[in-house]
């Protein structure tokens, strides 16, 4: 009798297992069919095909890197595929112009320069977003001070600031508020903010909020002091950047002048650059001249660098 019961239970379990596997296979088949239908529907138009190619590009290591850089730069609306395509097309175009106008070797340098230029553009976009966020810090500190003085908690004050401030501070604080609303701690949410917008001003504000949340203290007066200090730093930074603007432009003009001289020599005497590259003395002269121009550019950048 016991063996019969065990046999029946085993058969029932096997039947349930087979039914579950069949149901799982059916669900998986329907899911694949739905995804295929969506892809085929999207690919019916040019925009749909571009979106599909963009999804494929995002799965690759370069696509993931470009997507992360765009998010950090506040350019989430741009497709990573578009940025990559511009880099490739621009590199080929600039390389072709330099290869025809100067020498084939400069074509390869042009391709590398455009790829490096895209990286520089992404880095500059991140830096510009950081500067915009820092410029909003005095207003952010005042909004947080007013909200906390009205009796709101730190999380509530952050939500109010996210609703009142414009980009980039508003969306960044909205991410912090959303993370805290879904269970993340204040330390974790503010730590992510500090990673996305690395600066001393943000670090000071984050430290003030975390210390106040842990040990209490007069948060309102601390935030007001921070707002006044940041306002003074903002004005000082604006004056310094205005003073250094001409010197910064001079650094870029040094590089433009170097390439301009090469084009001018090749226009006056066609084949000059090719002839220089054909001899060791010409290569040495180009190498020394390029090194001097690059050294001058880096020296000017170093002298005009301001991290305040």
The pLDDT tens digits for 259-286 are: 888 888 888 888 888 888 888 888 888 8
What's the confidence (pLDDT) of residue 26?
A: 62
Gyration radius of the chain's alpha carbons: 30
Stated pTM of the model: 0.68
- Minimal CA–CA distance to 66: which of 77, 80, 49? 80
What is the per-residue pLDDT for 17?
58
Q: How confident is the model at residue 174 (pLDDT cuts 50, 70, 90)?
A: very high
CB contact set of 137 (below 8 Å; sequence gap of 6+): 169, 201, 202, 205, 226, 230, 234
- State both tokens at 74: 């506040």
Q: What is the pLDDT averaged over residues 54-73?
A: 84
Average pLDDT score over residue span 162-181: 90
CA atoms lying within 13 Å on the CB side of residue 33: 6
Distance (Å, whole) CA 23 – CA 13: 15
For the stretch 83-104, pLDDT in tens is 888 888 888 888 888 788 777 7
Q: Average pLDDT over the chain, rounded to whole?
A: 80
User: For a pLDDT cut of 90, what percent of the chain falls above it?
Assistant: 4
The pLDDT of residue 67: 85
- 5-57 pLDDT per residue, tens: 555 556 666 665 556 555 666 666 666 666 665 555 545 576 778 888 888 88
Take residue 75 and report the two structure tokens written for it. 């350019």
Centre a 10 Å sphere on the Cβ of residue 270 and count the other Cβ atoms it contains: 10
Burial of 95 (0-12, 13-18, 19+ CB in 10 A): buried
Which is more confidently placed, 158 or 215?
Answer: 158
Residues near 129 by beta carbon (within 8 Å), at least 6 away in sequence: 72, 73, 74, 168, 197
């Amino acid at each position: 009798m016991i063996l019969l019961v065990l046999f029946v239970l085993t058969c029932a379990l096997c039947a349930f297992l087979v039914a579950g596997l069949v149901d799982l296979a059916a669900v998986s088949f329907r899911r694949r069919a739905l995804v295929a239908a969506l892809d085929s529907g999207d690919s019916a138009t040019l925009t749909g095909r571009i979106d599909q190619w963009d999804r494929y590009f995002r799965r690759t290591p370069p696509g993931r890197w470009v997507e992360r850089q765009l998010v950090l730069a506040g350019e989430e609306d741009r497709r990573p595929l578009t940025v990559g395509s511009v880099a490739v097309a621009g590199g080929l175009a600039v390389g072709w112009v330099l290869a025809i106008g100067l020498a084939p070797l400069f074509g390869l340098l042009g391709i590398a320069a455009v790829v490096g230029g895209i990286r520089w553009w992404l880095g500059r976009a991140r830096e510009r977003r950081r500067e915009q966020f820092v410029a909003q810090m005095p207003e952010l500190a005042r909004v947080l001070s007013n909200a906390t003085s009205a009796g709101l908690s730190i999380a509530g004050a952050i939500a109010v600031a996210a609703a009142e401030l414009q980009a980039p501070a508003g969306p960044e604080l909205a991410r912090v508020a959303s993370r805290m609303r879904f269970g993340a701690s204040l330390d974790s949410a503010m730590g992510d903010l500090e990673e996305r917008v690395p600066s001393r001003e943000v670090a000071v504000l984050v430290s003030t909020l975390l210390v106040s949340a842990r040990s209490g203290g007069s948060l309102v007066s601390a935030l007001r002091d921070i707002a006044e200090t940041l306002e003074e730093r903002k004005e000082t930074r604006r004056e310094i950047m205005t003073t250094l603007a001409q010197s910064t432009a001079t650094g870029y003009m040094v590089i433009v002048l170097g390439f301009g001289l090469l084009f001018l020599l090749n226009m006056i005497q066609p084949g000059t650059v090719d002839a220089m590259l054909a001899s060791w003395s010409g290569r040495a002269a180009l190498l020394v001249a390029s090194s001097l121009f690059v050294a001058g550019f880096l020296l000017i950048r170093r002298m005009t660098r301001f991290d305040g």
